[in-house]
C-alpha cells in the first residue's frame, strides 16, 4: 500500500507539473522521473500502472520562463528515455494515451512509440495519420518513417495529399526511409506543390532512390524558385553521377546563391566533368569562401592540368581554408609542377595547410619532395612527424628507408608506429633488425606496427598504404593522451 500511495502521489505531482512549472523549473523533474522509472518495475501492478502513467504525463511538462511558457525539453527527453527503457510493458498505456484529448500528448506519445519494437505500434500510428490535428499527423508521419515498416508506405503516400503543408512535408521526408518505387510518381507529382518545404522534402527523398526517372526530374528542379529545392537537386545530381547533368550543373555555377554554386562545383567534380573546367577556373575568384574551396577540390578531382597554375596561385589566397583546399586539388592532379609550391606551403601559418601539404608531397617520387618530407621528421609537432613518416612510405621510394629507421627512435610512440608502418610498406629487409627491436617497445601502437611491418616485409601480409587511421587503430595504450596532446 505504501508503494502504491508513493506512486500515486508522484503521478499526481507529474500531472500538476504537466501544466506549468515555475521559473527555473527546466530539468528539475529528473529525480521524480528516475523514481517513477524505478516504480515501473514494482511487483504491484497498480504501482507500475501509476508510475508509467506519470511518466507519460511528463512528456508534455511546460515551464514558465521570462520569455514565456515552453515545453521542458529535458523532462520530455528523460521521460521518453525512461518509457523506452521500460519497453513493451509501457505499450498498453502509451496506446491508451493516443485517445487523450490533448493533441500535444498524442504527438509526444507517437514519438515514443516508434522507438519500442511492438507489432501493435505501426497500425496505431497509421490510424494517427487521420487525426483531426495536423501536429499529431506530422508526428505520426515522422514516427512511421523511423519505424521503417513497409506497410506504412501506402498510408504515407496517401498523406502526401494532406491538406496541411507540414504534414505533406513530413510524409515526403518519411518515405526516404523505404526506397519504395511506389512512392516515385506521387513524389514527382508533389514537385509542383505550392509549398517549397514539400518540394524540398520530395526532392530529398527522390535523390536517394535509384530509378531512371529521377535524374531528369532533378534536372528540372534546378530551376525551382526555392534555394533549398535547387540545393538538394544539385546534391542529388552529384550523387547520381549521370553525364546528362553536366550542362545543367554548369549553368548552376552562375546561381545567385552561394551554396548552389558550391554544390554545383562539388557535383561537377564528382562527375569529373572536363567540360566544366573553364567555368570552374573562373569560379576560383568567387567572393564566397566555400565556393572557392569546393571549386579547388572539384578541379583536382577532374584532374585537368590546366588547373595546376591557377591552383598554385590559390595558395596565396587570403583565406587559410581556401589554401588548404588548393593543396587538396593539387594532390589530386599530382603534377610535379606543384612540388616547389607545396614545399613552400610547409611554412604556412595555418596548421591544416601544412598538414595537407605534407600529405600531398607523398604522392611524388621526386628528390625535392623526399628532402622536404625528411626535414619534416624533426618538426616539433607530433602529428606532422606522423604525417611525414606516412608520406615517405607512400612515395614507395627506397631512399626514405634510412630516415625512417632513424625515426624509429622518435620520442613519440605514435611517430615510431608510423615509421614502422611505412617501412613495412617499402618492404626493405634492411629494416628487419630494428623493427624486431621495436616489437618490445613501450608503446602498444609501435609494437603492433612493428610486427605488422615485419610480416609485410616477409610477404606474410599484403602491402598496403599506411594511414593515420591504421596507426590509431593499433593497441591503444595512451590513446587518449595522444589525442589530447
Question: pLDDT tens digits, residue range 184-222?
Answer: 999 999 999 999 999 999 999 999 998 889 999 999 999
Examine the pLDDT at 479 and tell me if it is beyond 60: no
Structural domain includes residue 474: yes
Q: Given this model, what pLDDT does residue 245 score?
A: 95
Structural domain includes residue 130: no
Structural domain includes residue 446: yes
Structural domain includes residue 465: yes
Tell me the average pLDDT across 284-312: 96
Distances (CA, A) of 64 to 22, 167, 411: 5, 29, 57
Q: Where would I find the beta strands (DSSP E) of 378-437?
A: none
Q: Given this model, what pLDDT does residue 463 score?
A: 67
Angstrom distance (rounded) from CA 231 to CA 444: 46
Examine the pLDDT at 31 and tell me if it is beyond 50: yes
Q: Given this model, what pLDDT does residue 480 score?
A: 34
CATH number at 413 reads 1.25.10.10
Q: Given this model, what pLDDT does residue 459 score?
A: 87
Q: Given this model, what pLDDT does residue 428 score?
A: 92
Strand partners, 62: 71
pLDDT tens-digit series, residues 322-362: 999 999 999 999 999 999 999 999 999 999 999 999 999 99
Structural domain includes residue 424: yes
Q: Given this model, what pLDDT does residue 74 score?
A: 86
Positive/negative CA dihedral, 221, 223, 225, 231 = positive
Reported as a pLDDT band with limits 50, 70 and 90, residue 467 is confident
**What's the domain range around 407?**
381-485
Examine the pLDDT at 259 and tell me if it is beyond 90: yes
Examine the pLDDT at 183 and tell me if it is beyond 70: yes
Structural domain includes residue 203: no
Q: Given this model, what pLDDT does residue 73 score?
A: 81
Examine the pLDDT at 431 and tell me if it is beyond 50: yes
Examine the pLDDT at 107 and tell me if it is beyond 60: yes
Tell me the average pLDDT across 2-26: 48
Structural domain includes residue 445: yes
Examine the pLDDT at 21 and tell me if it is beyond 70: no
- Only one residue has cell 621526386, namely 366
Which three three-digit cell numbers place residue 383? 602529428
Structural domain includes residue 61: no
Contact 100, 71 (CB under 8 A): no
Q: Given this model, what pLDDT does residue 164 score?
A: 97
Tell me the average pLDDT across 96-100: 95
Q: In total, how many domains does the chain have? A: 1
Contact 20, 65 (CB under 8 A): no
- Only one residue has cell 500500500, namely 1
Amino acid at each position: 500500500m505504501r508503494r502504491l500511495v508513493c506512486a500515486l502521489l508522484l503521478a499526481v505531482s507529474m500531472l500538476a507539473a504537466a501544466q506549468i512549472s515555475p521559473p527555473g523549473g527546466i530539468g528539475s523533474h529528473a529525480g521524480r522521473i528516475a523514481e517513477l522509472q524505478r516504480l515501473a518495475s514494482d511487483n504491484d501492478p497498480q504501482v507500475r500502472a501509476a508510475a508509467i502513467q506519470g511518466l507519460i504525463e511528463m512528456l508534455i511538462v511546460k515551464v514558465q520562463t521570462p520569455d514565456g511558457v515552453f515545453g521542458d525539453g529535458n523532462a520530455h527527453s528523460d521521460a521518453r528515455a525512461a518509457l523506452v527503457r521500460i519497453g513493451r510493458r509501457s505499450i498498453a498505456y502509451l496506446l491508451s494515451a493516443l485517445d487523450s484529448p490533448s493533441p500535444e500528448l498524442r504527438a509526444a506519445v507517437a514519438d515514443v512509440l516508434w522507438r519500442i519494437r511492438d507489432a501493435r505500434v505501426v497500425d496505431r500510428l497509421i490510424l494517427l495519420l487521420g487525426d483531426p490535428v495536423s501536429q499529431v499527423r506530422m508526428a505520426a508521419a515522422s514516427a512511421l518513417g523511423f519505424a521503417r515498416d513497409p506497410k506504412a508506405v501506402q498510408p504515407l503516400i496517401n498523406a502526401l495529399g494532406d491538406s496541411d503543408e507540414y504534414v505533406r512535408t513530413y510524409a515526403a521526408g518519411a518515405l526516404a526511409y523505404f526506397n519504395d518505387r511506389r512512392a516515385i510518381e506521387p513524389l514527382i507529382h508533389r514537385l509542383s506543390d505550392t509549398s517549397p518545404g514539400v518540394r524540398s522534402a520530395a526532392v530529398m527523398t527522390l535523390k536517394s532512390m535509384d530509378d531512371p526517372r529521377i535524374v531528369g526530374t532533378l534536372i528540372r528542379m534546378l530551376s525551382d524558385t526555392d534555394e533549398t529545392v535547387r540545393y538538394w537537386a544539385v546534391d542529388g545530381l552529384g550523387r547520381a553521377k549521370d553525364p546528362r547533368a553536366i550542362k545543367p550543373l554548369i549553368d548552376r555555377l552562375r546561381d545567385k546563391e552561394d551554396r548552389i554554386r558550391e554544390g554545383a562545383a562539388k557535383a561537377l567534380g564528382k562527375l569529373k566533368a572536363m567540360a566544366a573546367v573553364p567555368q570552374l577556373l573562373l569560379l576560383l575568384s568567387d567572393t564566397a569562401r566555400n565556393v572557392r574551396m569546393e571549386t579547388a577540390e572539384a578541379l583536382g578531382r577532374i584532374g585537368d592540368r590546366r588547373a595546376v597554375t591557377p591552383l598554385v596561385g590559390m595558395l596565396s589566397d587570403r583565406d587559410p581554408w581556401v589554401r588548404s583546399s588548393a593543396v587538396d586539388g593539387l594532390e589530386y592532379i599530382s603534377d610535379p609542377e606543384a612540388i616547389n609550391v607545396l614545399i613552400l606551403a610547409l611554412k604556412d601559418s595555418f596548421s591544416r595547410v601544412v598538414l595537407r601539404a605534407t600529405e600531398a608531397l607523398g604522392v611524388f617520387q621526386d628528390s625535392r619532395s623526399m628532402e622536404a618530407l625528411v626535414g619534416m621528421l624533426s618538426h616539433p609537432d607530433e602529428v606532422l612527424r606522423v604525417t611525414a613518416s606516412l608520406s615517405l612510405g607512400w612515395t614507395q621510394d627506397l631512399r626514405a628507408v634510412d630516415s625512417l629507421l632513424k625515426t624509429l627512435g622518435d620520442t613519440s610512440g605514435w611517430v615510431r608506429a608510423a615509421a614502422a608502418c611505412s617501412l613495412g610498406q617499402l618492404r626493405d629487409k634492411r629494416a628487419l633488425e630494428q623493427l624486431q627491436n621495436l616489437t618490445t617497445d613501450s608503446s602498444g601502437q609501435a609494437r603492433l606496427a612493428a610486427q605488422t611491418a615485419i610480416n609485410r616485409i616477409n610477404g606474410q601480409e599484403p602491402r598496403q598504404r599506411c594511414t593515420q587511421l591504421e596507426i590509431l587503430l593499433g593497441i591503444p595504450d595512451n590513446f587518449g593522451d595522444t589525442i589530447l596532446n
